[in-house]
Amino acid sequence: MPTRLFPEVIRNLKLFQGVSPDEIADLLSESRVCWYKRGDLLFHQGDPVLHFYIVCTGTFETFKQTPDGKKITTDVVVAGKTMCKTEIFKSPFATHQVSACAVNDATVLEFPYTWLKKAVENHTIALNILSAVSHYAHMVEVEAEHKTTMSAPQQVACFLHRMYLLHDFNPKGFTLPYSKRLIASRLGMEPETFSRAISRLREYGITINGNQVIFNDVQKVEQYVCEHCSIVGECSQAKMHADLDPRKVHTS
């Protein structure tokens, strides 16, 4: 019975917000909890999509390999986040477009793809899933935008700032939760570029020594980041843009 194992984790999952304990228990009845060790593959690129996953503890990396053998990290999934939310809706005919690999030892809640139809019958769950997927879509949109508008140092600063908000880190000093290589890959840049980027971040009040990150001046960082960033609900000053005059733009 999964609820025994992670009662507090599961209760706090965004997906189950506003849902009564009885309903949660019912929704969990079809699920199972699985353990994975660092380096284990949750699924392969090319496998049929059979499950919907919620990461309870640990971290996963989803990646894709290009025909020429290169690896592209598409996402880093931390505890509380879901996987396959964009692929599961094509089941049972879809195949995984990415592979998922445990970065740390991890535990995962797994639901069969058939569970979804049932879950959607609960309107609160339906809205929660929709909210999660749309939030994810929006994040991907913004990051795609960043790739075309921001320099490497700016992207790194933006990523560190979001990491700081997401994990509620202490700005006066926190440890990177995973390797620089993974972050670089996640941001779509080479490790060398990432390395050079962080050495240029001192000008913006960010010091990085090994895995230790210090925001010397959080406000300065936020100013720098938010001028170019607008992930609502993740970027605290996004609302600053609300009163920009949109009429300045040249429409085509």
* Binding positions for its own copies, 132-191, rule CB under 8 A: 133-138, 140-145, 147-149, 179, 181-182, 185, 188-189
Q: How far is the CB of 197 from DNA (least distance, A)?
A: 7
- Beta carbon of residue 121, minimum distance to its own copies (angstroms, whole number): 6
The answer to whether 154 and 145 have CB atoms below 8 angstroms apart is: no
72 binds its own copies, rule: CB under 8 A: yes
Q: With contact defined as beta carbons under 8 Å apart, do 206 and 221 qualify? A: yes
How many positions of this chain bind its own copies (CB under 8 A)? 76
Task: Indicate the residue among 14 and 200 with the shorter CB distance to DNA.
Answer: 200
Write out the binding residues for DNA, residues 201-220 only, by CB under 7 A.
208, 210
Q: Which CB, 6 or 100, lies closer to its own copies? A: 100
CB neighbour list of residue 202: distance below 8 Å, 6 or more residues apart: none
Contacts (Cβ under 8 Å, ≥6 apart) of 130: none
Contact at 8 Å (CB) between 64 and 72?
yes
Interface positions, 1-20, toward its own copies (CB under 8 A) = none
Q: Which does 121 bind (CB under 5 to 8 A by kind): DNA, its own copies, none?
A: its own copies
Q: Which two tokens stand for residue 153?
A: 């140092």
List the x/- string, 142-161, binding to DNA by CB under 7 A: ------x--xxx--------
Q: Which does 194 bind (CB under 5 to 8 A by kind): its own copies, DNA, none?
A: DNA
Which stretches of 76-179 are DSSP H helices? 115-120, 123-149, 152-166
Part in contact with DNA (CB under 7 A); list of ranges 73-81, 137-145, 189-197, 221-229:
189-197
Q: Are 59 and 76 in contact (CB under 8 A)?
A: yes
CB of 75 to its own copies, least distance (A): 8
What one-character-per-residue DSSP string does 155-208 give?
HHHHHHHHHHHHTT--TT-EE-SS-HHHHHHHTT--HHHHHHHHHTGGGGTEEE
Say if residues 25 and 3 touch (Cβ distance below 8 Å). Answer: yes
Taking the complex as a whole, how short is the minimal distance between the CB of residue 8 and its own copies, in angstroms? 26
For binding to DNA (CB under 7 A), which residues are involved? 148, 151-153, 179-181, 188-199, 208, 210, 250, 252
